[in-house]
Structure 1
């Protein structure tokens, strides 16, 4: 996708996301958006564009670390429930409870019994969320093996993004077909009418961002909320306040001036 076209459409869609945010806030909507996909599929980049102009008090990103020893003894969905939205909130899960269907299954971090229990419980869990009024959207970002490897190599060679390449990512290259089978099984068990999966082709990052945001907006019957008119009052007359002497405070050195 051409950069100029991409940037123009992205800013238009982001302005719609701001309208969506106000609709969520005023109408007391609870919205959950799940971002899943292979490593380096572009999930983080999309989330960054979705939230770029949103209020972090309304739109929260949840990206949980590996479970603690205590959390491993809880009901599997328990650690995710506490992050679900209250009225007037939007929550974006950067990976979610579907870790069990993907990395935990492929890497052997759960038992076969835990894995099959997840597939029995997950559709019930999601139907309960929807029945209670939560708007649930699930996106799978699909990337080809060639593009994934290219992105991994790009991260490896870029010191600013080297941190994004983990040992788990390296293992993903060796287990491409295992992850493919896991994804196929996940769709069979959890692509339900109440909360279907939507696949985003993400070899082209710009197109993926535009397509995902446009689709999310199209699935929600939101409307623009009229904002109250705000007028700035005139600045009041001085009552004699004087700022303390400059030299009595610790100031950040003017590094910017040294660059000119």
Structure 2
């Protein structure tokens, strides 16, 4: 099966992609393109999958760069392959051609950034905790340190869990209301035990408030399309022991 890659006109002509689970070597609950070394999938199979992604991005596997993601607001600037142990961070930026920035997700938002004129790119893993903690703004700050301008920067949110599938409790909503009472608009429901959170709406709000030139979501829901996407929440609801990780990449 061929790899399937979701792209955005906002990032073209840069080589980039939000990879689906199609075209991978993994089996079982990881069936497809599982790129998560932190999963319990066979490490050699994960290396094969990541090698296929590197090939699609036209680089050697060591130039497919990822970090140890921890739902933080930490950003690292990279100019080549990273050595183990990989830094703990949830976003990367670079102005070095041939370096592929890669983030892993399974419901959280993968966000790819580009200032085409400055030749600066970024990639962020932005779940609710990272978005609330400022990972998107921190990525833009790090890009600016390399010469980017945020009003020229395009930001694209890839496949992630949509509001109709993202049920949360009232204590979850409280964290957002403490930041800004206007954040209530990102929750649907009556304020009781079952609220639905609009993760992408919140992400787009943070990006636009930060002053990006353009921001969009590809409108793919990971939870609702098991044939194409891994989903942590769907795997949990199904009682599965583990889940695959999707990969999203961008390079100059």
Q: Is TM > 0.5 for Structure 1 vs Structure 2?
A: no
Structure number having the greater strand percentage: 2
Q: Return the TM-score normalized by structure 1.
A: 0.35
Q: Return the TM-score normalized by structure 2.
A: 0.36
Structure number having the greater helix percentage: 1
Rg larger for: 1
